[in-house]
Structure 1
Amino acid sequence: MIELLRTFTQMEEIHHEFGPPPAVPRRRAAVGIVLRNPFAGRYEPDIVPMMEALKPLGLEMARRTSAALGVPLSAIDGYGKGSLVGTDGELEHGALWHVPGGYAMRALLGDARAIVPSAKKVAGPGATLDVPITHTNASYVRSHFDAFEVRVPGAPQPDEIVFVLAMTSGPRVHDRLGGLRADQISAMDGLR
């Protein structure tokens, strides 16, 4: 059921965005995998077995994403996930990534409480995906609201799916919109 075709890694280190340079550069990393879509071109009423089969791959991708970020696990404080489904598939095939991708990052990070934001779309080869990012422990921490643009060259072909995990360290450079700060997280409910 799982036919892995390619793996793609993207890492960005942000040293400056107007104003003074940050004391520590912000890092963002994403890992994308390209799979053959076993449901391409047809309707399958029960796709849940594929979601279960993706769980080990989700854990491996979470490890790869954190390694690409190049910081200790304790420094990872933002995450997101997403999927691009080739045109012979349907949006629901991209939704298969919710559990394997989200829970993998939360398990790897240990104490991550916030829901992992997600984006998905049906698209052609070379499409971009803006992977939404929020703080790992509180979705309302404004300094971590972000999106990481990911594109796997030449994918997805009509019979492919691209699954993506993204992680970040640190807030946006020069965040200054107020609201809940990371050092004010207190509710431990994943929101505040």
Structure 2
Amino acid sequence: MSSEKFKAAIKKLAQVDNQTDRAVVISVDKNELTCVVQTVADDLELEGIKLKPVFNDGDLSKMGLILFPAVGSYVIIGQVDGDNTDMIIISCSEIESVGLDTATALKLLISGDGKLNLNTVLTTFNDGKNGGIPLLKPLTDIINKLQKKVNALSDAFDTHVHLGVSTGGGVSGIPKTKAPARIDPLIITDDIENKRIVQ
């Protein structure tokens, strides 16, 4: 650190009247819920800037509502209880993602690219009137079985010949081929429904 930056840092530590600063985000640590910023006024690099003021007795997994600023975005940082060694993000110009964690252990993360990550026991959309969303793998397996059976029936029908039948008054004989067995058991909703998500 140059002597000028060192003087600026000492001056900042001594400030009591200015409790907020504008800064640019250099990096974000989503595990520690902190970021590194560079102040706009004097180009000081500050580490350990909190993304939220309360850490629930040190348990970072219970993060409440938190905004993760985008790297390169502008933020306003402020002191906690006038302590210039304990600073938090007050607002940011651009959000990279949003996290939410409630007292019931619901975890929700919405990223800037529109992806939604939700970890919960039951998710309901549209009052749950349409039932659960099907599980893709079991549904695909069932459709594949049906397709194979239909293909086998189609092949059997196309090649089916009655022995002993001739033009005119012939006699029917024993079929050379037999139709495939029926599909059992019948499909039920529980086989393909994901009960954790209803719409």
TM-score scaled by length of structure 1: 0.24
The structure with the largest strand share of the pair is 2
RCO higher in structure (CA 8 A, sep ≥6): 1
TM-score scaled by length of structure 2: 0.24
